[in-house]
Homo-oligomer: A and B are copies of this chain.
Amino acid sequence: MMDVPAKKRVRLSTEVRRQQILDAALTEFTALGFNAASISKIAARAGMSKANLYVHFANKDEIFETLLKDVLQPALGAWQLPPAGASVEHALDAYIDHQYEQMTPQMVSIMKLLISESHRVPELIRRWQDETVLPAHREQQARIDQYVADGALQKTPLTDNFSFIMAPVLYAVICKLIFTPEVAETERQKTRATHRQLIRLLLKAP
């Protein structure tokens, strides 16, 4: 007879366990959505028993909420400020590029989660909106306004409503979520090129 693998009962700190759970949960939730992701699989992926998972979180919703909270901290990285430099135009260019670059599969999955499951955590979303997204917008807008005031950028409808600049990026993300990979990728590249050209055009305009 073979020895039974002798499943050890590992004892780890709460911190570690929570993180294991959240990591596993992120994978499962982004892959399947809230409902289809099961506690069983999350526990299995996190390497612990279901019951132990409930020692660390009160229920499935709490895991989800904690997860989104973590993920939403950096405001999707999206509306970060462009680094100021000698040439504002160049910086802006690099900034937009950065956004398209950042469109990783993981980020796309989280976007999907945010769209399809945000109704589960309205309070969290509201706080995220009020404390992260809107302030970031404002800060960014202030910076842009400063550039305009300084004459580093000329005033255009875009500089008046700078968050508008993310629209094409989002369009590319949504394409990834709906269309076939090939079409989505084509659309992303076309969008990116058009985006860049239009921005340049706009900044050069008299």
Residue of B nearest to A122 (CB): B180
Interface: A126 (CB within 8 A): yes
Interface: A160 (CB within 8 A): yes
From residue A83, how far is it (CB to closest CB) to chain B in Å? 24
Residue of B nearest to A157 (CB): B197
Interface: A171 (CB within 8 A): yes
From residue A64, how far is it (CB to closest CB) to chain B in Å? 13
How many monomers of this chain does the complex have?
A: 4
Tell which of A17-25, A86-94, A110-118, A142-150 binds the partner: A110-118
Interface: A202 (CB within 8 A): yes
Interface: A103 (CB within 8 A): no
User: Are B178 and A114 in contact (CB-based, < 8 A)?
Assistant: yes
Pick the contact of A194: B157, B168, B193 (CB < 8 A). Answer: B157
Interface: A82 (CB within 8 A): no
From residue A73, how far is it (CB to closest CB) to chain B in Å? 16
User: Are B158 and A198 in contact (CB-based, < 8 A)?
Assistant: yes
Instruction: List A residues 157-206 near B (Cβ within 8 Å).
Output: 157-158, 160-161, 163-164, 166-168, 170-171, 174, 177-180, 183, 187, 190-191, 193-195, 197-198, 201-202, 205-206
Residues of B close to A12: CB separation below 8 A: none
Residue of B nearest to A162 (CB): B194
Interface: A42 (CB within 8 A): no
Residue of B nearest to A160 (CB): B194
Question: Which residue of A114, A167, A174, A194 has the most chain B CB atoms within 10 A of its CB atom?
Answer: A167
Residues of B close to A116: CB separation below 8 A: 33, 112, 115-117
Pick the contact of A129: B115, B183, B206 (CB < 8 A). Answer: B183
User: Are B33 and A193 in contact (CB-based, < 8 A)?
Assistant: no
Interface: A6 (CB within 8 A): no
Residue of B nearest to A168 (CB): B167
Residues of B close to A160: CB separation below 8 A: 194
User: Are A164 and B178 in contact (CB-based, < 8 A)?
Assistant: no
A167-B167, A167-B191, A183-B129 known; A118-B178 Cβ under 8 A: yes
